[in-house]
Amino acid sequence: MTQRPHVLVVGGGIAGLSLAAALDPERWRVTLVEGRPERAGAGAGLALWPGALRALDRLGVGEGLRRDSVAPTDGALRRPDGRALVHLPAGRSGLRLVARPALLEALERAVPEQVARRTEEVADPQALADRLGADLLVGADGVRSAVRRSAWPRAVERPTPWVAVRGTTATAPEVSGEWWGRGRLAGISPVPGGTYWFLAWRSALPGRDLDPAAALAEARAGYAGWDPRVSALLADAEPEAVLAQRIHVAPPMRSLVAGRTVLLGDAAHAMTPNLGRGAAEAVLDALALADALHRHGPECGPAAYQRRRIVVGQALRVTSGAMMHLATARLPRRT
């Protein structure tokens, strides 16, 4: 009997779980390694675009996620004072908004029981792959990817000028959309069971994972005088219930494959969050890699995956950064 190729997946988030769920356990031996198996985090809202939903249908979880998600409502792009600049009808885009924990739980259920699980922080992915006898090492370990650094030592994540504060409330939003101006961005959208809100602005707050209380204090000062629908969310926010982070992005990547090592998801193209494409692209990366491996095997599959996905991911990374610069631009005041 031919031995199944062994795929070592480092990272048990959206990208890693999607790949583990998509690989046929009759053809592949899969080991999934995650340093933080609880992965709870904040209940951030995620956008599932139609292509990602079709991919999730293939994993058997699309129908359930449609039930556990909501469609976007009509919104607008507004000035800080709330006056609408552009109305944004929801239309029939097929987009769904889901809470991050719901997506992770659905993907967990889709992972075959044959997948081996390990709980450990991976400092040396190449050594772990050698020790386990892996034929393929997949970096699905996010923007701070240890796998990426192990194969591309100069490809280090980059801090941006922006910090982001995100939270949820248990009440439905009165309004949805985004507010741009004065070098700041705010957004409100519906999620199942309530509202997801987010802020981003240029900040000198130190550190990668920020003190939520300090970030909220800076936000309340900076967003003073904004649309009351934004300031009310900030007034009610509690530090222990928000996620406050310096936004980091992946470096430009000319290749996603180096020998037996492959990158997907945020490890390959982590972008600023304002386009809402990170989760969807992670799922699409995973399904594209699984398809390529099933069709071409471990030797040629990674190259086929790269041909299919590298341009999309890198283009979105650049575009999202450009949109963030535009959204948080400081325009001169009229005199």
Residues 286 and 174 in one domain: no
Domain-ending residue, one of 227, 248, 269: 248
pLDDT at 66: 96
Mean pLDDT of 189-198: 93
263-320 pLDDT, tens digit per residue, is 999 999 999 998 899 999 999 999 999 999 999 999 999 999 999 999 999 999 999 9
**pTM, two decimal places:** 0.94
Q: Is the pLDDT of residue 38 over 90?
A: no
Residues 263 and 215 in one domain: no
Residues 148 and 276 in one domain: yes
What share of the chain has pLDDT > 70, as a percent? 95
Residues 203 and 280 in one domain: no
Residues 285 and 148 in one domain: yes
Domain total of the chain: 2
Mean pLDDT of 134-139: 98
For residue 46, being part of any structural domain is answered with yes
Alpha-carbon distance of 314 to 292, in angstroms, equals 19
Q: Is the pLDDT of residue 93 over 80?
A: no
Q: Is the pLDDT of residue 238 over 60?
A: yes
Whole domain around residue 168: which residue ranges? 160-248
47-64 pLDDT, tens digit per residue, is 999 999 999 999 999 999
Residues 170 and 239 in one domain: yes
pLDDT at 41: 46
For residue 21, being part of any structural domain is answered with yes
Residues 192 and 282 in one domain: no
Residues 109 and 41 in one domain: yes
Q: Is the pLDDT of residue 40 over 90?
A: no
Handedness of CA 326, 271, 269, 65 (dihedral sign): negative
Alpha-carbon distance of 301 to 317, in angstroms, equals 24
Domain-ending residue, one of 216, 248, 280: 248
114: left (phi over 0), alpha (psi -120 to 50) or beta: alpha
Mean of all residue pLDDT scores within the chain? 93
Q: Is the pLDDT of residue 39 over 60?
A: no
Q: What is the CATH number of the domain that holds 218?
A: 3.30.9.30
Residues 122 and 211 in one domain: no
Domain-ending residue, one of 248, 274, 294: 248
Q: What is the CATH number of the domain that holds 268?
A: 3.50.50.60
5-30 pLDDT, tens digit per residue, is 999 999 999 999 999 999 999 999 99
Mean pLDDT of 74-90: 93
Q: Is the pLDDT of residue 261 over 50?
A: yes
Mean pLDDT of 28-51: 82
Confidence tier at 207 by pLDDT (50, 70, 90): confident
For residue 124, being part of any structural domain is answered with yes
Residues 151 and 256 in one domain: yes
